[in-house]
Structure 1
Amino acid sequence: MGLHTRIDSAVERAIALGQGGAAPARLASALHYACTPGGARIRPTILVSVAMACGDDRPGLADAAAAALELIHCASLVHDDLPCFDDAEIRRGKPAVHRAYSQPLAVLAGDSLIILAFDVLARAAHAAPERAIELIRLLARQTGMPHGICAGQGWESEDKIDLGAYHRSKTGALFIAATQMGAVAAGQEAEPWYELGARIGEAFQVADDLRDALCSQEELGKPAGQDDLHGRPNAVSLLGVDGAVKRLKDILGGAIASIPSCPGEAQLAQMVTAYADRLTPAAVKARV
């Protein structure tokens, strides 16, 4: 089974769990709609890649962790797109959940996906209880307050923004979760994997800032120019396009150098390099 098939299958199983029984049909449908098509599945791909690099001796637990992480990510997109936040009509090339199903169902879908993520991890705990408890703790830390993605959204309501804390929470948190949860699922310590996740998350944020400034809505599959429209702090406004491109290259170089020693270290370096190539839009590659 290929890596992407493995991840998609794990996500589909998780969604089916949330749709079981005599569930309200439209909300059940919204759960699936919010998570498909899957896009790049970057975060769970990193998680499973780290688990594989560390031996992947509990693949069922790694699959549950990957699915849980992707459910949290998809929930955050549903909530981000709401009129009270980004007011985005398009996500992944189709109407945002609140446009397709209504605002109340979008709120409920996002909430349900968050709860489902922790249910998925709890159900997989029998494979390795101590690891599962740590996975739940790591995911909770990078989802909520004070440093998770909820905090990242919260920074946008502050008069003064700590840019480093904002980016670390808004974007970096789930990448940190990806590397640390992948290691823990395979029986390794979480802490050595923090830096890799943080650097990948920072690279993603800078690349996203570049894409938002340089790409069209058709290329992105979502509205473009949102940073400028909403007055958000971003790498392009701070450093200029060329400065942001240089920053992206420096971060990715540091990410590869920060990979902890493990049996699959070389393969992980290749994954980060391939990920960087996919992350970088053509308009940016032309400047490199």
Structure 2
Amino acid sequence: MDQGARIEAALEAALRRAEGPGAPPKLAAALRHGVFPGGGRVRPRLLLAVSAACGEPNPTLADAGAAALELLHCASLVHDDMPCFDDAATRRGLPSVHAVHGEALALLAGDALIVAAFEAIARAAPADPAAAAAVTLVVARAVGMPHGITAGQGWESETAVDVEAYHRAKTGALFVAATTAGAVAAGADPGPWRAVGARLGAAYQVADDLADALGAEGDIGKPCGQDGAHARPNAVAALGVSGAVSRLEALIGEAVAAIPPCPGAGELRELVKLQARRLAPKSLVASVA
């Protein structure tokens, strides 16, 4: 089974558990809306690629970790789109969860997806409890306080914003979790993989800033101009378009260079480049290839 199929199967299993007998049907539908159809599944693909590069002795735990990261990412998108934050009507080219199911169910759906993420890892724990505990810690740090995606969202409510901390938490944390959890799930040292995730996360933040400033909703599947509308710090405002493109190119190069020697290094390099091209506005694809 290829990586994409493994990810979708693990996500489907998690959603089916949430939709079990006796579940509130409207909330169950809101959960499914938040997860399917998915985007690029970038973070879980990265986790599985790192795990494979490290030998992947425990594919069940790797699959669970990949599903957990994607469920948490989806939960963050559901909450981020709500009226109290971006008030975004679309996501992935479709109506956002709250636009279809209402704010109350969207809030609960995001909460339930967070819980489902940790349940997925717990169910994979019997084969290697120590590794599962380590993956849980990596994932929890990536989503909680003080440096996870919750903190990243929290920075948007501050009057004085530490931009580097904001971007590391909002975007970088899940990428660092993807690379380090992939190594941990395979029983490898996560240390060398942290830099890969950090640089890739920073690159994705710059690409997202460029897409928000220059992209079209039909291309990126969500409203554009959100950074300007909400006066958020972003790479385009700080560096200009050409400066942001240069920064994106540099970060992609650094992420590729940081990949440690391993059997899957070549595949990982191509994955990084492919996903960077996917996120950048179409007018800039050639420059980040």
**Alignment TM class, shorter chain as reference:** over 0.9
Q: Name the structure 1 match of 2:264.
A: 264
Give secondary structure in 1 for the equivalent of 2:160: coil
Alpha-carbon distance in 1 for matches of 2:131, 2:276: 30
Alpha-carbon distance in 1 for matches of 2:94, 2:269: 33
| 157 and 186 in structure 1: CA distance in 2 versus 1, 3 angstrom threshold | same
1:212 lines up with 2:212 in the alignment: yes
Q: What is the letter of the counterpart of residue 265 of structure 1?
A: A
Alpha-carbon distance in 2 for matches of 1:56, 1:218: 38
Alpha-carbon distance in 2 for matches of 1:103, 1:178: 30
Alpha-carbon distance in 1 for matches of 2:263, 2:275: 20
TM-score (norm 1): 0.97
Q: What is the letter of the counterpart of residue 168 of structure 1?
A: R
Q: How does 1:50-129 map to 2 (within 5 A)?
A: 50-129=50-129
Alpha-carbon distance in 2 for matches of 1:278, 1:94: 18
Note if contact 1:121-1:136 (Cα within 8 Å) is conserved in structure 2: yes
For structure 1, which segment, 4-13 or 261-270, has the greater mean C-alpha deviation from structure 2 after superposition? 261-270
Note if contact 2:207-2:276 (Cα within 8 Å) is conserved in structure 1: no
Q: Name the structure 1 match of 2:171.
A: 171
Unpaired runs of 5+ residues, structure 2, are none
| 155 and 48 in structure 1: CA distance in 2 versus 1, 3 angstrom threshold | same
Q: Name the structure 1 match of 2:34.
A: 34
CA deviation after TM superposition for structure 1 residue 279, in Å: 2.5
Q: Name the structure 1 match of 2:16.
A: 16
Alpha-carbon distance in 1 for matches of 2:136, 2:287: 41
Q: How many matched pairs? A: 288
User: What CA deviation, in whole Å up to 9, does each residue of 1:108-143 have, x standing for no partner?
Assistant: 000000011111101100121110000110110010
Alpha-carbon distance in 1 for matches of 2:59, 2:175: 20
Note if contact 1:90-1:96 (Cα within 8 Å) is conserved in structure 2: yes
Q: How does 1:155-234 map to 2 (within 5 A)?
A: 155-234=155-234
Q: Name the structure 1 match of 2:149.
A: 149
1:241 lines up with 2:244 in the alignment: no
Alpha-carbon distance in 2 for matches of 1:286, 1:126: 47
Note if contact 1:72-1:113 (Cα within 8 Å) is conserved in structure 2: yes
| 239 and 17 in structure 1: CA distance in 2 versus 1, 3 angstrom threshold | same
CA deviation after TM superposition for structure 1 residue 92, in Å: 0.9
Q: What is the letter of the counterpart of residue 216 of structure 1?
A: A
| 287 and 119 in structure 1: CA distance in 2 versus 1, 3 angstrom threshold | closer
Q: What is the letter of the counterpart of residue 45 of structure 1?
A: R
Alpha-carbon distance in 1 for matches of 2:260, 2:81: 36
Note if contact 1:242-1:287 (Cα within 8 Å) is conserved in structure 2: no
Note if contact 2:209-2:234 (Cα within 8 Å) is conserved in structure 1: yes
Alpha-carbon distance in 2 for matches of 1:30, 1:73: 15
CA deviation after TM superposition for structure 1 residue 286, in Å: 5.2
Compute the RMSD of aligned alpha carbons.
1.1
